[in-house]
Amino acid sequence: MESEIKNLNRRQFLVAVGTTAAAAALRCRGSAAKAAARSSRPNFVFIFADDLGWGDLGCYGNRQIRTPNLDELARKGMLFTQFYVNARTLVPHATLHPTDEQMKPYQRYAPQGVPYKGAKQIYYASVSDMDRQIGRLVKRIDQLGLADNTVIAFSSDNGPEDFDIRNAVHSGIGDTGPFRGRKRSIYEGGVRMPFIVRWTSRTPAGKVDDKNIVAGVDWLPTVCSLAGVKLPAGLNPDGEDMSQAILGKPWTRSKPLMWEWRFRVFGDMAHKSPMLALRDGKWKLLMNPDRSRVELYDIGNDPTELDNVADQNPQVVRKLSERLLKWQKTLPAGPTDDVAGSNAYPWPTNK
């Protein structure tokens, strides 16, 4: 084929390609029965943003950043308010470098009287551009007639970056919504992410799920379940099949979610979480392995994690801390920062 193409001019080449495509289409038609059998298995498209916060999308309450395409995805699918990521801070960064054209809608956030671009202009324009590109992808999926057989999911890998990180300082604008904690923190703002799922033939349109606790670790068992594929024998995933939740049906999580962060947390004191966390039902326990900090929050009533009720609930702390420490012992050994889990401040003294 390659040697034949060399001797064709451009028009002949396009005709040849067209003919090949037509022949392929005919072959497909001949195996329509097989294709129909395959089509009972959905396609999966998971769009995973880098360092985007829970509060960075219009459909999650942001009133400054325009994200019409993701808002539309949520209107036609489901939006989860309690979606968590466990293995995070992994996706390589792309520098935010929007064009002047892309920043135009956010001109009013430019610093006044100085010729600099503002962090808000840069970050907001970048989120809006991401939204625009997702809009193009979704439109194409719909144009191809694949909507009813395609699960489209959107989330982020961790909370927004902090101003302290110089090569990503513009992302310090990212919004965690009402939550404390940013990237690296295991307070809600660092680990609780947007999660939108649209499957036009199966997910209830426009439903907000404020009840189910779902997580990135659930994705593998869920995809396998929806595709009718068995998990490999011997694989015992941390996650659970959340397909019923995605379909808008009753479902209850059976296992708690757990986190460990062995490194420094940058930025404001309020983000410096203990090293370990566990979410079980309404409770979230955060602690250091040596119990130097123990915090218990009723997340349903206190999503901002400001009212530590550990002292009032010793039984809950005992039960959850035992489970969390037992889990931590199963993790691989590795380096730990000296300041991990610390919220110490160099307080002025008379010494």
- Distance, C-alpha 106 to centroid of its chain: 25
Return the structure tokens found at 158: 């961790």
Q: Nearest approach, Cβ of 94 to Ca ion (angstroms)?
A: 11
188 binds Ca ion (CB under 5 A): no
At 232, phi and psi to the nearest 5? Answer: -55, 140
Element (DSSP H or E) covering residue 80: strand 78-84
185 binds Ca ion (CB under 5 A): no
Footprint on residues 279-298 left by Ca ion (CB under 5 A): none
Handedness of CA 327, 313, 280, 193 (dihedral sign): negative
Q: Nearest approach, Cβ of 49 to Ca ion (angstroms)?
A: 8
Q: Nearest approach, Cβ of 249 to Ca ion (angstroms)?
A: 32
Return the structure tokens found at 46: 């998971």
Q: Nearest approach, Cβ of 89 to Ca ion (angstroms)?
A: 5
**184: left (phi > 0), else alpha (psi -120 to 50), else beta?**
left
156 versus 225: smaller Cβ distance to Ca ion: 156
157 versus 218: smaller Cβ distance to Ca ion: 157
**Other residues' Cβ atoms within 10 Å of the Cβ of residue 274:** 24
Footprint on residues 151-170 left by Ca ion (CB under 5 A): 157-158
72 binds Ca ion (CB under 5 A): no
Return the structure tokens found at 276: 């370990």
Footprint on residues 77-106 left by Ca ion (CB under 5 A): 91
User: Of 42, 49, 50, 131, which one interacts with Ca ion (CB under 5 A)?
Assistant: 50
Q: Which of 307, 304, 312, 285 is nearest to 296 (CA)?
A: 285
- Distance, C-alpha 15 to centroid of its chain: 44
Q: How many residues bind Ca ion (CB under 5 A)?
A: 5
Q: Nearest approach, Cβ of 293 to Ca ion (angstroms)?
A: 25
Chain residues in the site for Ca ion (CB under 5 A) = 50-51, 91, 157-158
